[in-house]
Structure 1
Amino acid sequence: VLQIGCDRIHDSTFTLTGHLPPTVIDILREVDFHPEELRPEDFVTEGWGGVLCVEAGGPPAGTGCGGYVVGQTVKLLKQHHLLDETDVVIFDVLGDVVCGGFAMP
């Protein structure tokens, strides 16, 4: 199971990990947005029961598009074949997003 938190406050996986993990967007910023420099252990935390936890993060409210960050997170997960090797993927998205397409199929 892989749970992806899609919120700028990055607390979706807190109950599974016991801490607020760094966000994918913050980690990408640290490597000047060169994802090829990252390994899964740089952005994936194992939580309770072996659930893999990722926090996408996002821009401050009203300053950008959270969908972009989620897209970059999915791209990174695909590059490391984490979506291929996982039976269940949970996306925990905001319910009050301004751009409704972010949370809709």
Structure 2
Amino acid sequence: STFTLTKKLVPTVIDVLESVNFHAEELRIGDFVHEGYNGVMCVEAGGPPAGTGCGGYVVGQTVKLLKEHHLLDDTDVVIFDVLGDVVCGGFASPLQHSDRALIVTA
């Protein structure tokens, strides 16, 4: 969750997309990017309720939205905080677009 950086619950990408009937072209950056501590840009992807679907779709839509708004072009570091106990491989999809990845597990 981005709560630790923003100190508030921010709308998820999936909720914001749903509010415009999934017409992503109607969204502005401020609709889904929220400034957190020390100027960190935060995006909360969201997902289906637990046990009801694949969160990978939402991750894919979030990455697509970030690309459409060129938010990954000038960003030095992008951190994806995802669940580690899911059976869906969709959470790993952002890794296919990177030159290098560091995976930290506990």
Asked if structure 1 preserves the Cα contact closer than 8 Å seen for 2:13 and 2:45, the reply is yes
**Quick one: which of 24, 33, 38 aligns to 1:49?**
38
User: How much has 1:102 moved relative to structure 2?
Assistant: 3.1
- Which of the two has greater strand per residue? 1
Asked if structure 1 preserves the Cα contact closer than 8 Å seen for 2:35 and 2:41, the reply is yes
Q: How does 1:1-105 map to 2 (within 5 A)?
A: 12-99=1-88, 101-104=89-92, 105=95
Q: Which residue identity lines up with residue 52 of structure 2 in the other structure?
A: T
Q: What TM-score results when the alignment is normalised by the length of structure 1?
A: 0.84
**CA distance in structure 2 between the partners assigned to 1:19 and 1:55 by the alignment:** 11
- Which of the two has greater helix per residue? 2
Query: Share of identical aligned residues, percent?
Result: 78
In structure 2, list runs of 5 or more residues that go unmatched. 96-106
Number of residue equivalences = 93
Q: What TM-score results when the alignment is normalised by the length of structure 2?
A: 0.83
User: How much has 1:62 moved relative to structure 2?
Assistant: 1.6
In structure 1, list runs of 5 or more residues that go unmatched. 1-11
